[in-house]
Amino acid sequence: MLFRSQQEQKTSDDHYTPKWLFDKMNVQFDMDVASPPEGIPYIPAKRYLSIKENGLTTDWEGFVWCNPPYSDVEPWVNKMQSHRNGIMLLPMVKSFWRLKVWKDADGICEPDGVDRVKFIHKGKEKEIMFPTFLAGWGDKAIETLNKIGRVRI
């Protein structure tokens, strides 16, 4: 399971956020808390937490970006709910944690004109099999999400 043990090879969780989304947000994050070991150079973050640093056990600081492993989203949601300063890219699935996000986040957004985000997988864009949404906590998150689409507050 990603981030609970040392990752030796790529997994089904290795779907990375496309560059265009960061271009639209046009913001600097303090941390990317669920970064792959090799990192992604276009993610605008001052610090990257990979499996080695374990974003679930390392303290989060400042404005956070999180595209968590979709195989186990809930602990990442719980940590963001405690931190309350950042943006998460999450799958639109039926789950208890999604209901918590919809009730707790300061804003929810789907990118304008995009049904499904095409994630980067094995170096190529690949359409994920379910829709996604962005959830934000804090004023900076709401300001940033407004650059992407209509925000439900």
User: pLDDT-derived band of residue 153, with 50, 70 and 90 as boundaries?
Assistant: confident
pLDDT for 106 beyond 70? yes
Task: Find the mean pLDDT for residues 127-152.
Answer: 89
The number of beta carbons lying within 10 Å of the beta carbon of residue 148 is 19
Q: What is the pLDDT of residue 119?
A: 58
Residues in the chain: 153
pLDDT tens string 42-99: 999 999 999 899 999 999 999 999 999 988 999 999 999 999 999 999 998 888 999 9
pLDDT at 2 over 60: no
Is pLDDT larger for residue 144 or for residue 70?
144
To the question of pTM greater than 0.75 for the whole model, the response is yes
Note the pLDDT of residue 92. Answer: 84
Give the mean model confidence (pLDDT) for residues 20-49: 92
Q: At what angle do helices 96-104 and 74-83 cross, to 10 degrees?
A: 20
**Cα dist. 86→38, 107, 113, 128 in Å?**
22, 11, 23, 23
Q: Determine the Cα–Cα distance for residues 70 and 119; give it in Å rounded to an integer.
A: 12
> Are the beta carbons of 108 and 135 closer than 8 angstroms?
yes
Of the ranges 20-24, 91-95, 123-127, which is most confident?
20-24
pLDDT at 145 exceeding the cut of 60: yes
